[in-house]
Structures are given as C-alpha cells and as structure tokens.
C-alpha cells in the first residue's frame, strides 16, 4: 500500500497545495497577461507560452480567497490539459514532495464550499497538511462571466 | 508535362510522387521478403502498393503500365494466398517489374505517355511464373541470388552521385538480368537521355513533411521573432553601425523565415477543387447529364489539416449535387432551363471563417418528399415534423440513415451520406447549412473556422488593450473630429446611429460591449468639451452593416489565428487570439458574435422559430423589454413600428423593377425572387401616391420565407420599452404601444409573411 507519489507543491494564502507532478508541464515566472473582457474574474488573462496561447487562471480567485496583497507577483504553474495547457497563478512555488498513500485522507466534512469542491483530499505531512488540488475541476467552469452589461 | 492541361497535370504529378514513394517502399519490402518469404504483412504491403499503382494508372489511361502492374499483381496475389512460395526467381522477376514500372514513370514524367518500349517479354515472364504451380526452380540456368542483385543495385546507387549516366545503365542491366532482353538496352539509352534533360524529377522537388514538425517549427519561429524583437529594442540604444546592420539583417531574415514557415501549412482550396471537374464529368456521364462547373475563390487559403479534412465531404457533396441535384437534360429543357446544369463552387473568408458554398441549379429539394421520407424511416415523430419550419425540414437531410435518392445508384444514395458530411465538417469545428428552392436548386454552405489560418486584420485599441478585427468583415473606416462627432452621431433614445451617406448605421461601442465602460460613461465623455475624435469601423456581419466605435485604430497586420482554450470558448465575442509582433497576446474579435451581443443584428433565426411555436406572436416581439424599433410612417400620418431584429434589411427599389409572378408583385433581389406586400393593402388603407420615387421596402424573413414589405416612409430607428397597451384584432397589427410618447401601431411582421406565403400557413 505504501505507494509513493510525487506532488509539485505551491502556496496560496498561507495554505500548502499540491498537484500530481506528471500534470505539471513547467513553471514560469510571472509575465504580463492580456485581459479577456467578458470572461469570469477567475481568468487573469492570456499569456504567450512560446507561441501557444495559454489561459491564466487566478487560483486565489478560483478558491475565493482574498486577492494577493502588495507588490508580490504570482508564479505560473503550467498544467497540461486535453486541448493544450492552462496556467494556474499561485503565490509561491514549493518543493516537489514525495508523499505516502497511507497518509492520505479525504477532506473532512467540516471543510465546506469551494474548497471542498476543488480539493480531493489531504496528505498529512509531518509538520503540516498538504491539500491536493483537483486541477480538472479547478479549470472547469471558468467560462463567461455571469454578469452581462 | 508542361503542355498537358492543368488539371491532368496535377493528378499525374500526384500519381508520380505517390508511385515513387511506393516503389522505394517496394524495393525494401521485396528484399526483406526474401529473408522471410512467408511474411503475410510484407506481402500484403507489396500487393497494396502495386495494386494502387495499377488502379491509378488505369484511371489515367496508361495502358502499358497498367498491364505490367496487372501481371505483377496477379503473381503477388498468388504469393499472398500461399499458392506460390517466393523464391529468387520470383523475386528477380518482381524486381524487374519494379524497374519497368520506374522506367515507365520516368517516361510519363518526360513525355506524358508511358513510352514506346515493349514489355511483352516481362509480362510473359511474370505470367509464366504465375502458371508454374510447383515452386521448384523451373530453369537450369543459374540465377543470381537476390543478395547479389541487391549488392549490384546498391553499388550502382553509390556511383549515382558521380556518374549519373552510368548509374542508369547499371541499374537497368542489373535488374532484368537478361530476361527482359530486348527492352533493356533500348530503355537504358532513353533513360540516360532523360536523366540528363531532367536532372530534378517531381519526386526530387517535393518532399512530404509531418505536419507536427511544421507546428513545432512554427512555434520555434515564434520564439525567434520574440528574441529578434528584443534584440531590435536593444539595438536602438546602440550606435555600433556593424551591430545595427547585423540586427537589421536578422530582422529581415526572421521575417522571411516566419512567412515561409507559415506558408508551408497553407494551401489554396483550388488544390482539392482541381479534381472536381473530372469527378463531375465522370458522374455526369454515368448519369447521362450535362454539367458545367464554375469556381470562384480557388485561391482561398486553408490550413493543410483542414484541407485534408474537407476533401472527402466536399467530394461527396459534389457527387450528390450532380447525381441528385441536377436534372436530366430533357427534364431541364422541359422546365425551361438550359440543358446544361451549372455547379457553382465558391470559397471566401468571412467573419474569421472560411466559407465554402456549393450550389447547383437543379431541381432543389422537395420538403414534402423529405417529410415523407423522414416519417417512413421513423427518423422523426409526426408531431415534431408538424412543428418544423422549412429550414429545419431541409436539415433533416443530415440525419443518419437519410437518403433521398429514389433509386440507389452506384454514385450515391446508399444511406451513408450527408450525415457523414456533417459529422466530418463538425469534427473540425465547422458548420453545414443547406438552402434549397424547389425547381431552382440547392446551395450547401460550409463554414470552417480558420484555426491556424493567416488572415489580414485591423488592429484597434479599446480599454488599453489591442484587438484584431478580421479584415474580411471590414468595409470602411470613418473618423469624426470631436465637434463633428457631437453633431453626426445621433442618439435615438439610447441607440446611437450615424448617418453614413444617408443611411442609418447602428453603432456599437467596443468599450461598452467589452464591459470597459458603461453607456452613461460613453455619453458623458462624448458630450464633454474635451472629447476626442471618434473612430468608427464599419463592419459587415451576416449581410448587414454596423459601426463599431473604437478608441484608436493602429494598422493592418497579417495575424495567425490561434484558438482560445476551451475555458473561453463560450465567449462568442472572440474568434481566437493572436500573438503580436512584440510577443504579447491580442484577442481577435468575432464580428458576428459581437454584433449579436450589441444587438445590432437580429437574433438567431433558429431560435425565433423554436420560440414562436410555443409563444404567441405578441409576446414574441418581447413586450416589456427595451427593444430597438424601426419606425414607419403611413400615408395618413399614422406611426407604425417593427422590432428591428425582425428586419433583415431596408431596401429601396425603383418602381420599374417590380415584376409580376403568379399574380403577385415581385422584385429580383440578390439572385432570388422577392415577393412584395404593400403594408397599406394589408392594413386596408390606401397606398400613398409615390410617382416615380423609389419604394421603401423592409425585407424580413420568417420560417425561411423572405418577403419585402413596401412601406410609405421609414422614419427612424429608436430604442424604447415596448409594451402593448391596446391589443387589436385588426389584421396585420399586434396592437398599439406608446413609443417616444406617441401612440404607435406594432406591425405583425410574421403574420404578414405567413399570410403572403401559403406554404407556411399549413405549417403554422
């Protein structure tokens, strides 16, 4: 049962998140985005990744966290999806962590709202908790903003 | 070759390239086969190659080549079936055949015919081998093993670079090994001459490249462009002249490289169309019809992958049009049409898409027949059918298992048909639509997104971001200086319009449509003394015009359309994105989507059809909401209103353009016959005497039926809340409403159309 898995980790509003390392294509530093009017506020904009147009999603906004404070610039975590790639904007990049299946537990019932929807579960690391992000869900439902003009 | 007709030229060229590839594969397979004589895969592969060559050259009437390939194929089929076992003898004979095929291909390339050489000996030899049922060595004469032969061939190939002439001699004498006797020396001499004359053959000037490799190259070039741009920026701070010169050269080379790589993926649609005249001719002859093919826009460029994907569907449509669409000559003459049918193919870029139209002037599709067929096959429920508009009925043709052919011909009508066409087009994100008029013909319209296509676009700015507008939608640019703009842009109750050469052009503000500014902000800014000049981009979508007000207009640029991620696909205002020269991303506006969003065009007709089955027409015009209305004046001073989204166009016709058909007034309009209805007649009033002045006509479509409503005066276009205060029983009206503080009658446009078109009455 002691099947080890590697997670690429990052921080958001003080929380420690992880994504399966195979899903992460690359990590690049922040670059200016082209805004997409009419899109939901979760969509930060578009970036040019070596000729490929990639949608950047503000994970803080997606997880309904308060906006990033101060001058700090987010980092792009580029994840592979069916039709190319999507960038997830995170506060800071952490290490690649090897986790033990045995330490995994689904989110407790007390975790509610959007977090419950987008987090598949938690790895109990020695010193803290590592939240596993469901990337497919995080990327889904990021369509047009509900508010028209 | 050069003197051959363009169409044949293309077919033959392709045949040559394919065959050369096939032969190279054949050489490798035959050698490998000798080591494993029973390998079914190899045998099958060889058989296929020869079979393809035979098939194609039979089609192109190269009889000699066909006969050689034919005996080769027979021999191979016995090998494949296990009735013969491969031995050195057979291998040599097969290699001799391959060489003979090669020689004939060279002849075809040089002279356009398969040569004068006599291959009877080779054919006889192949036939003999096929007859010899026992795979024992039939001849006492020692033969070189295949290995020797291959060695010889390889050796001769090595010499090739140095002595071209020698090579051909070596190669030919190696292969037939005396058996093809008489032909060899003769052929050798000729081949030698040719190789001098044509040092580069078709196969040498074309290579096939994996499209993915091209994709990768394109992305790399994109990166190179970015690096180039950074260097150019850096250059501007330098004054070393040789450095500047070098970066200039880098600039030019990069630009050319970028263009070149992009071009590798683009192909004119003419490449696939070139085959159609022949397809049409063959089908027409097979069904005893006369058909003329006309093409327009064959230079329209499409991405390679899209070209490949639409080839088969289009061929199917063309065959269908000839087989089912165009009638037999006698029938056409009887119907008063020329005996020769016309098949018209058109391609053009519009609204960020490639449009392909295939129309015939044949018998059209009879909706009644379609209905019967659909019921007969149980494809739709009778209730469902009763509610369908004409357009929906026509679209039944795309249902799987639907075929209208009364008899199954060898050309089409096997039940696999239009549904496959539709599926294939939709697979690449396109749409198919069919329009047909009984007795007049059928038009099939295919729209394909131009993902990856390069299009010229106008770059504009709004809210600090740049946006690209596909140039195909662009009609003109209008710039109004600030004080001029305050006068020329009239706001009719919130709906801004501009009088463009006397016609009202509805305006949409890009900043408002994209949510950068509210209407009030725009109005405040426009009325303030410090307002800027106004830039209007006059655009066309769905045959109608509107003006898009933008902050500033930069330039036109060739852009590469890139798709947006599926997270953003639902935003219809954007057709994609592109990477600008400086590496930043700019969104491409979808003119159609934007126009619909701004409500300067009518809503989707399909939707209104679906809705009016359930709702009564008074509520359909959307009472209680703000609507854009067309105000009309009647002779007696009465005011009438029509919701603008029910109006296709406003037209003027000279009174002498009016003709008569079936007792009804009609005009010729955009290649169609447009029935006219006088509003005054419908409402029981008297027509305003007009004399020789032009008639004002409101063109409107309902359930696929387009009519022109002749009105006395077109007053204005306004936006107001529509609320019917007093319903009416009067025919042609829905009721009275107060619009701009004046009592105005609402015209029942759909009712008028339905009454004017008896075919719709029963459907309603």
List, as one string, the DSSP characters of B169-198.
Answer: HHHHHHTTTTTTTTHHHHHHHHHHHHHHH-
Residues B502 and B641 in one domain: no
Alpha-carbon torsion, ordered B307, B308, B313, B318, to 10 deg: 60
Does the pLDDT value for residue B663 go beyond 70?
A: yes
Indicate the helix (H) or strand (E) that contains B155: helix B146-160
Stretch among A124-133, B18-27, B404-413 having the lowest mean pLDDT: B404-413
Please answer whether residues A78 and A86 qualify as being in contact, where contact means their C-beta atoms are separated by less than 8 angstroms. Answer: yes
Does the pLDDT value for residue B705 go beyond 60?
A: yes
> Is B483 inside any structural domain?
yes
Stretch among A30-34, A57-61, B181-185, B675-679 having the lowest mean pLDDT: B181-185
Q: What is the mean pLDDT of chain A?
A: 85
Q: What angle do helix axes B88-111 and B120-131 make, rounded to 10 degrees?
A: 150
Instruction: Please name which of B692, B679, B655 lies closest in space to residue B745, comparing C-alpha atoms.
Output: B679
Instruction: Please name which of B750, B713, B757 lies closest in space to residue B731, comparing C-alpha atoms.
Output: B750
Note the pLDDT tens digit of each residue in B66-75: 888 888 888 8
pLDDT above 70 coverage of chain B, percent: 76
What is the per-residue pLDDT for B136? Answer: 44
Please answer whether residues B164 and B196 qualify as being in contact, where contact means their C-beta atoms are separated by less than 8 angstroms. Answer: yes
Report ipTM (2 d.p.). 0.86
Cβ-Cβ contacts under 8 Å for B427 (sequence gap 6 or more): B309
Helix (H, G, I), strand (E, B) or coil at B747: strand
**CB spacing of B571 vs A149 below 8 angstroms:** no
**CB spacing of A142 vs B567 below 8 angstroms:** yes
How far is B495 from chain A, CA to nearest CA, in Å?
15
Q: How many domains does chain B have?
A: 5
**CB spacing of A36 vs B463 below 8 angstroms:** no
What is the per-residue pLDDT for A141? Answer: 66
**CB spacing of B218 vs A51 below 8 angstroms:** yes
> Is B604 inside any structural domain?
no
Distance in angstroms between the alpha carbons of the first and the last residue of chain A: 54
Domain boundary among the residues B569, B597, B625 is at B597
How far is A68 from chain B, CA to nearest CA, in Å?
23
Does the pLDDT value for residue B180 go beyond 50?
A: no
Does the pLDDT value for residue B652 go beyond 60?
A: yes
What is the per-residue pLDDT for B101? Answer: 83
What is the per-residue pLDDT for B635? Answer: 67
Note the pLDDT tens digit of each residue in B628-644: 788 887 766 678 888 87
Strand stretches in B397-494, DSSP E: 431-437, 441-449, 454-462, 465-470, 474-480, 489-492
Pairing outcome for strands B664-669 and B659-661? antiparallel
Residues B10 and B154 in one domain: yes
What is the per-residue pLDDT for A90? Answer: 93
Instruction: Please name which of B661, B750, B761 lies closest in space to residue B700, comparing C-alpha atoms.
Output: B750
Which residue of B513, B519, B568 is the best one to mutate when testing the A interface, meaning the one whose CB has the most A CBs within 10 A?
B568
Looking at B266-366, list the stretches that DSSP marks H as alpha helix, in order from N- to C-terminal side: 270-273, 276-286, 304-320, 329-334
Residues B96 and B176 in one domain: yes
C-alpha distances in Å from residue B135, one per residue of B85, B138, B322? 6, 8, 51
Comparing B170 with B490, the larger pLDDT belongs to: B490
Mean pLDDT across B498-517: 85
Instruction: Please name which of B115, B112, B106 lies closest in space to residue B9, comparing C-alpha atoms.
Output: B112
- When CB atoms are compared, the residue of A48, A53, A81 closest to B564 is A53
Closest-CA residue of A relative to B569 is A143
- CATH code, domain carrying B681: 2.40.50.180
* B362: confidence class by pLDDT, cuts 50, 70, 90: confident
Mean pLDDT across B488-495: 77
* DSSP notation for B193-230: HHHHH-SS-HHHH-----HHHHHHHHHHHHHHHHHHHH
DSSP label of B623: T
> Is B610 inside any structural domain?
no
Q: What is the mean pLDDT of chain B?
A: 74
Does the pLDDT value for residue A82 go beyond 80?
A: no
Residues of B in contact with A35 (CB under 8 A): 463, 465
* B255: confidence class by pLDDT, cuts 50, 70, 90: confident
Instruction: Please name which of B76, B77, B82, B88 lies closest in space to residue B38, comparing C-alpha atoms.
Output: B82
Cβ-Cβ contacts under 8 Å for B410 (sequence gap 6 or more): B286
Residues B66 and B118 in one domain: yes
What is the per-residue pLDDT for B69? Answer: 83
Residues of B in contact with A39 (CB under 8 A): 568, 571
**CB spacing of A53 vs B563 below 8 angstroms:** yes
Region of residue B289 (left: phi > 0; alpha: psi -120 to 50; beta: else):
beta
Mean pLDDT across B86-103: 80
What CA–CA distance (Å, rounded) separates B748 from B728? 11
> Is B608 inside any structural domain?
no
Closest-CA residue of A relative to B224 is A50
**CB spacing of A43 vs B586 below 8 angstroms:** no
Strand partners, B560: B454
Does the pLDDT value for residue B337 go beyond 60?
A: yes
Structure token digits, residue B658: 């009016």
Please answer whether residues B533 and B480 qualify as being in contact, where contact means their C-beta atoms are separated by less than 8 angstroms. Answer: yes
What is the per-residue pLDDT for B81? Answer: 77
DSSP label of B604: P
- When CB atoms are compared, the residue of A38, A52, A57 closest to B219 is A52
Which residue of B218, B562, B581, B585 is the best one to mutate when testing the A interface, meaning the one whose CB has the most A CBs within 10 A?
B585
Domains and CATH numbers, chain A: 4-136 (2.40.50.180)
Residues B136 and B232 in one domain: no
What is the per-residue pLDDT for B91? Answer: 77
DSSP label of A43: E
Does the pLDDT value for residue A77 go beyond 80?
A: yes
Note the pLDDT tens digit of each residue in B107-153: 887 777 777 777 788 888 888 877 765 444 444 344 444 444 444 44
Stretch among B145-154, B281-290, B356-365, B571-580 having the lowest mean pLDDT: B145-154
Residues B239 and B275 in one domain: no
Mean pLDDT across B661-685: 79
**CB spacing of A53 vs B584 below 8 angstroms:** no
- When CB atoms are compared, the residue of A37, A50, A139 closest to B567 is A139
Residues B574 and B623 in one domain: no
* B158: confidence class by pLDDT, cuts 50, 70, 90: very low
What is the per-residue pLDDT for B216? Answer: 81
What CA–CA distance (Å, rounded) separates B493 from B460? 28
Structure token digits, residue B4: 């051959």
- CATH code, domain carrying B245: 1.10.287
> Is B609 inside any structural domain?
no
Alpha-carbon torsion, ordered B456, B458, B459, B460, to 10 deg: -160
Question: Is A52 exposed, middle or buried (CB count within 10 Å of its CB: 0-12, 13-18, 19+)?
Answer: middle
What CA–CA distance (Å, rounded) separates B313 from B425? 7
- When CB atoms are compared, the residue of A47, A142, A144 closest to B585 is A47
* B762: confidence class by pLDDT, cuts 50, 70, 90: very low
Instruction: Please name which of B685, B696, B592, B588 lies closest in space to residue B642, comparing C-alpha atoms.
Output: B696
**CB spacing of A53 vs B512 below 8 angstroms:** no
Does the pLDDT value for residue B722 go beyond 80?
A: no
How far is A32 from chain B, CA to nearest CA, in Å?
8
Instruction: Please name which of A126, A131, A137 lies closest in space to residue A105, comparing C-alpha atoms.
Output: A131
What is the per-residue pLDDT for B403? Answer: 59
B124 φ, ψ to 5°? Answer: -65, -40
- When CB atoms are compared, the residue of B567, B579, B586 closest to A43 is B567
Residues B289 and B321 in one domain: yes
> Is B329 inside any structural domain?
yes
C-alpha distances in Å from residue A39, one per residue of A143, B295, B516, B564, B700? 6, 41, 12, 12, 34
What is the per-residue pLDDT for B727? Answer: 64
What is the per-residue pLDDT for B500? Answer: 85
Which residue of A28, A32, A35, A37 is the best one to mutate when testing the B interface, meaning the one whose CB has the most B CBs within 10 A?
A37
Please answer whether residues B351 and B303 qualify as being in contact, where contact means their C-beta atoms are separated by less than 8 angstroms. Answer: no
Question: In 10 A of CB B557, how many CB atoms?
Answer: 17
Does the pLDDT value for residue B83 go beyond 50?
A: yes
Does the pLDDT value for residue B159 go beyond 70?
A: no
Mean pLDDT across B559-570: 80
**CB spacing of B562 vs A52 below 8 angstroms:** yes
- CATH code, domain carrying B103: 1.20.120.160
* A143: confidence class by pLDDT, cuts 50, 70, 90: low
Please answer whether residues B75 and B129 qualify as being in contact, where contact means their C-beta atoms are separated by less than 8 angstroms. Answer: yes
Note the pLDDT tens digit of each residue in B530-557: 667 889 999 987 667 899 999 889 888 7
How far is B252 from chain A, CA to nearest CA, in Å?
20
Residues B540 and B494 in one domain: yes
**CB spacing of B516 vs A55 below 8 angstroms:** no
Looking at B335-448, list the stretches that DSSP marks H as alpha helix, in order from N- to C-terminal side: 367-376, 382-386, 390-394, 418-427
What is the per-residue pLDDT for B728? Answer: 65
Closest-CA residue of A relative to B560 is A51
Instruction: Please name which of B341, B330, B325, B320 lies closest in space to residue B415, comparing C-alpha atoms.
Output: B320
How far is A101 from chain B, CA to nearest CA, in Å?
32
How far is B298 from chain A, CA to nearest CA, in Å?
30
What is the per-residue pLDDT for B171? Answer: 35
Closest-CA residue of B relative to A31 is B584
What CA–CA distance (Å, rounded) separates B759 from B253? 64
Tell me the residue range of the domain where B677 lies.
Answer: 615-763
Question: In 10 A of CB B738, how many CB atoms?
Answer: 15
What is the per-residue pLDDT for B154? Answer: 43
How far is A48 from chain B, CA to nearest CA, in Å?
6
Comparing B161 with B664, the larger pLDDT belongs to: B664
Which residue of A28, A31, A33, A36 is the best one to mutate when testing the B interface, meaning the one whose CB has the most B CBs within 10 A?
A36
- CATH code, domain carrying B535: 2.30.30.40
Question: In 10 A of CB B336, how many CB atoms?
Answer: 7
What is the per-residue pLDDT for B415? Answer: 39
Residues of B in contact with A59 (CB under 8 A): none
What CA–CA distance (Å, rounded) separates A137 from A146? 18
Strand partners, B557: B457
Q: What is the CA radius of gyration of chain B?
A: 34
Closest-CA residue of B relative to A46 is B585
Q: If interface means Cβ-Cβ distance under 8 Å, which residues of chain B face chain A?
A: 218-223, 226, 463, 465, 512-516, 518, 562-571, 573-574, 576-577, 579, 583-587
> Is B540 inside any structural domain?
yes
Residues B478 and B442 in one domain: no
pLDDT above 70 coverage of chain A, percent: 92
What is the per-residue pLDDT for B134? Answer: 46
Note the pLDDT tens digit of each residue in B595-626: 888 877 643 333 333 333 333 344 444 445 66
Instruction: Please name which of B269, B240, B301, B231 lies closest in space to residue B582, comparing C-alpha atoms.
Output: B231
* B172: confidence class by pLDDT, cuts 50, 70, 90: very low
What is the per-residue pLDDT for A146? Answer: 44
> Is B482 inside any structural domain?
yes
What CA–CA distance (Å, rounded) separates B176 from B101? 12
What CA–CA distance (Å, rounded) separates B600 from A80? 39
Residues B474 and B364 in one domain: no
What is the per-residue pLDDT for B346? Answer: 93
Comparing B21 with A105, the larger pLDDT belongs to: A105
Residues B419 and B289 in one domain: yes
Mean pLDDT across A107-116: 79
């Amino acid at each position: 049962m002691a099947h080890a898995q590697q997670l690429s980790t990052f921080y958001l509003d003080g929380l420690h998140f992880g994504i399966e390392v195979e899903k992460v294509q690359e990590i690049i530093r922040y670059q200016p985005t082209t805004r997409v009017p009419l899109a939901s506020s979760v969509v930060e904009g578009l970036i040019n990744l070596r000729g490929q147009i990639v949608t950047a999603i503000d994970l803080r906004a997606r997880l309904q966290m308060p906006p990033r404070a101060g001058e700090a610039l987010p980092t792009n975590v580029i994840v592979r999806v069916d039709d190319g790639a999507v960038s997830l904007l995170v506060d800071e990049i952490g290490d690649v962590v090897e986790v033990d299946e045995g330490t995994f537990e689904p989110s407790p019932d007390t975790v509610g709202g959007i977090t419950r929807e987008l987090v598949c579960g938690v790895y109990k690391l020695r010193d803290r908790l590592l939240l596993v992000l469901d990337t497919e869900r995080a990327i889904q439902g990021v369509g047009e903003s509900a508010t028209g003009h | 070759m050069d003197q051959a007709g363009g169409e044949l030229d293309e077919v033959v060229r392709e045949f040559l390239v394919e065959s050369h590839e096939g032969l190279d594969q054949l050489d490798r397979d035959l050698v490998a086969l000798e080591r494993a004589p029973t390998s079914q895969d190899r045998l099958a592969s060889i058989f296929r190659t020869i079979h393809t060559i035979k098939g194609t050259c039979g089609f192109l009437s190269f009889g000699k080549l066909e006969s050689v390939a034919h005996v080769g194929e027979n021999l191979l089929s016995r090998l494949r079936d296990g009735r013969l076992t491969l031995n050195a003898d057979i291998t040599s004979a097969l290699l001799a055949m391959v060489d003979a095929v090669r020689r004939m291909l060279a002849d075809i390339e040089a002279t356009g015919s398969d040569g004068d050489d006599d291959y009877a000996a080779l054919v006889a030899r192949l036939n003999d081998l096929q007859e010899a049922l026992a795979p024992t060595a039939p001849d006492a004469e020692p033969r070189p093993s295949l290995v020797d032969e291959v060695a010889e061939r390889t050796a001769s190939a090595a010499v090739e670079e140095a002595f071209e002439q020698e090579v051909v001699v070596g190669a030919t004498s190696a292969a037939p090994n005396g058996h093809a006797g008489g032909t060899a020396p003769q052929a050798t001499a000729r081949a030698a001459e040719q190789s001098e004359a044509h040092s580069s053959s078709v196969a040498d000037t074309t290579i096939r490249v994996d499209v993915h490799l091209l994709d990768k190259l394109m992305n790399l070039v994109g990166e190179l462009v970015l690096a180039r741009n950074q260097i150019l920026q850096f250059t501007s701070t330098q004054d070393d002249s040789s450095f500047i010169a070098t970066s200039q050269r880098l600039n030019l080379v990069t630009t050319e490289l970028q263009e070149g790589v992009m071009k590798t993926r683009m192909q004119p649609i003419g490449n696939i169309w070139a085959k159609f005249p022949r397809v049409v001719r063959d089908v027409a002859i097979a069904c005893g019809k006369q058909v003329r093919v006309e093409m327009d826009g064959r230079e329209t460029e499409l991405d390679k992958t899209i070209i490949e994907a639409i080839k088969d569907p289009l061929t199917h449509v063309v065959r269908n049009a000839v087989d089912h669409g165009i009638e037999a000559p006698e029938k056409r003459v009887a119907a008063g049409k020329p005996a020769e049918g016309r098949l018209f193919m058109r391609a053009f870029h519009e609204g960020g898409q490639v449009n392909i139209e295939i129309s015939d002037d044949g018998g059209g599709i009879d909706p009644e027949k379609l209905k019967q067929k659909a019921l007969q096959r149980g494809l739709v429920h009778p209730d469902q059918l009763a509610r369908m508009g004409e357009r929906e009925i026509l679209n039944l043709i795309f249902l799987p298992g639907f075929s209208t052919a009364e008899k199954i011909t060898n050309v089409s009508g096997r039940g696999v048909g239009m549904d496959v066409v539709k599926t294939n087009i939709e697979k690449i994100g396109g749409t198919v639509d069919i329009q047909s008029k009984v007795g007049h013909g059928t038009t099939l319209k295919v729209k394909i997104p131009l993902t990856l296509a390069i299009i010229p676009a106008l770059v504009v700015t709004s809210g600090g971001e740049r946006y690209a507008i596909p140039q195909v939608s662009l009609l003109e640019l209008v710039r109004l200086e600030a004080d001029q703009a305050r006068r020329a842009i009239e706001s009719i109750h919130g709906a801004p319009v501009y009088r463009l050469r006397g016609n009202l052009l509805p305006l949409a503000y890009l900043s408002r449509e994209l949510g950068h500014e509210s209407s009030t902000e725009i109005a405040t800014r426009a009325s303030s003394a410090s307002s800027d000049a106004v830039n209007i981009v006059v655009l066309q979508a769905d045959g109608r015009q509107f003006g898009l007000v933008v902050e500033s207009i930069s330039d036109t640029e060739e852009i590469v359309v890139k798709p947006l991620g599926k997270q953003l696909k639902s935003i219809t205002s954007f057709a994609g994105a592109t990477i600008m020269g400086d590496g930043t991303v700019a969104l491409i506006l979808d003119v159609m989507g934007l126009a619909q969003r701004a409500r300067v065009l009518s809503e989707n007709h399909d939707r209104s059809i679906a809705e009016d089955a359930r709702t009564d027409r008074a509520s359909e015009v959307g009472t209680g909401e703000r609507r854009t209305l067309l105000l009309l004046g009647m002779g007696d001073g009465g005011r009438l209103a029509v919701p603008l989204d029910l109006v296709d166009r406003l037209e003027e016709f000279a009174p002498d353009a009016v003709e008569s058909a079936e007792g009804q007034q009609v005009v010729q309009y955009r290649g169609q016959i447009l029935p006219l209805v006088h509003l005054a007649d419908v409402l029981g009033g008297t027509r305003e005497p007009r004399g020789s002045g032009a008639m004002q006509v409101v063109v409107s479509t309902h359930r696929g039926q387009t009519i022109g409503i002749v009105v006395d005066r077109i007053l204005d276009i306004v936006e107001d809340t529509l609320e019917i205060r007093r319903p009416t029983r009067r025919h042609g009206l829905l009721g009275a409403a107060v619009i701009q503080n004046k009592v105005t009658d609402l015209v029942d446009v759909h009712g008028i159309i339905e009454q004017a078109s008896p075919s719709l009455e029963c459907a309603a």
